[in-house]
Amino acid sequence: MFVPAPDHRRAGSTGEAVVVTGTGVEATDAADLGTHRLPRVRGFARWPAQGSPKREGKALRESVPRSAHRTLDPDTARPDAVSAVTESNAGRIAELTPLRVGRMAAGPFAFLRGSAGLMAHDLARTPMTRIGTQICGDAHAANFGLYGDARGGLVIDLNDFDETVEGPWEWDLKRLAASLVLAGREVGADEDTCRSAAHDTVGAYRRTMRLLAKLPVLDAWNAIADEELVSHTDAHDLLGTLERVSAKARSNTSGRFAAKSTEEVAEGGRRFVPAPPVLRGVPDAEAAAVAAALEPYVETLGEDRRPLLARHAVHDVAFRVVGTGSVGTRSYVVLLLDHRGEPLVLQVKEARPSALLPHLATAGFATPPAAHEGRRVVLGQRRMQVVSDILLGWTTVEGRPYQVRQFRNRKGSVDPAALAPDQLDDYGRMTGALLARAHSHGADPRLIAGYCGKNEELDEAIADFAVAYADRTEADHADLLTGIRTGRIAAETEA
Mean predicted confidence (pLDDT) in 243-257: 75
Predicted pLDDT of residue 226: 52
Predicted pLDDT of residue 238: 64
What is the rounded distance in angstroms from the CA atom of residue 379 to the CA atom of residue 276?
Answer: 33
pLDDT at 19 over 60: no
pLDDT at 359 over 70: yes
Percent of the residues in the chain that have a pLDDT greater than 70, as a whole number? 87
Confidence of residue 312 (pLDDT cuts 50, 70, 90): very high
Domain ranges of the chain: 1-50, 53-239+416-485, 254-354+361-406
Confidence of residue 473 (pLDDT cuts 50, 70, 90): very high
pLDDT at 349 over 60: yes
Quick check: pTM over 0.75? yes
Neighbours of 220 (CB within 10 A): 18
Mean predicted confidence (pLDDT) in 450-459: 98
Mean predicted confidence (pLDDT) in 32-56: 83
pLDDT at 9 over 50: no
Mind listing the pLDDT tens digit for each residue in 404-452? 999 976 777 788 998 999 999 989 998 999 999 999 999 999 999 999 9
445 Cβ partners below 8 Å, 6+ apart?
A: 209, 210, 212, 213, 220, 436, 439
Confidence of residue 232 (pLDDT cuts 50, 70, 90): low
Higher pLDDT, 221 or 446: 446
Predicted pLDDT of residue 237: 64
Predicted pLDDT of residue 219: 87
Predicted pLDDT of residue 233: 63
Mind listing the pLDDT tens digit for each residue in 178-207? 999 999 999 999 999 999 999 999 999 999
Predicted pLDDT of residue 147: 76
Ranges 16-30, 271-285, 346-360: which has the least confidence: 16-30
